[in-house]
Amino acid sequence: MSKIMTVDVLSSIKGAQSSETVNKLFDVIKNAQPNNNNSSNNVNYNCVSLNDLREDVVMESSALEKKIIIENFPKEKNGYLVVAKVIED
Site residues (CB under 8 A) for other proteins?
5, 7-8, 10-19, 21-22, 24-26, 28-30, 32, 34-44, 46, 48, 52-54, 61, 64-65, 68-69, 71-75, 81, 83-87
Least Å distance, CB 80 to other proteins, is: 12
SS3 call for 81:
strand
Closest approach, Cβ 4 to other proteins, in A, equals: 9
**CA distance linking residue 46 with residue 51, whole number of Å:** 14
| Biggest CA pair distance of the chain | 60
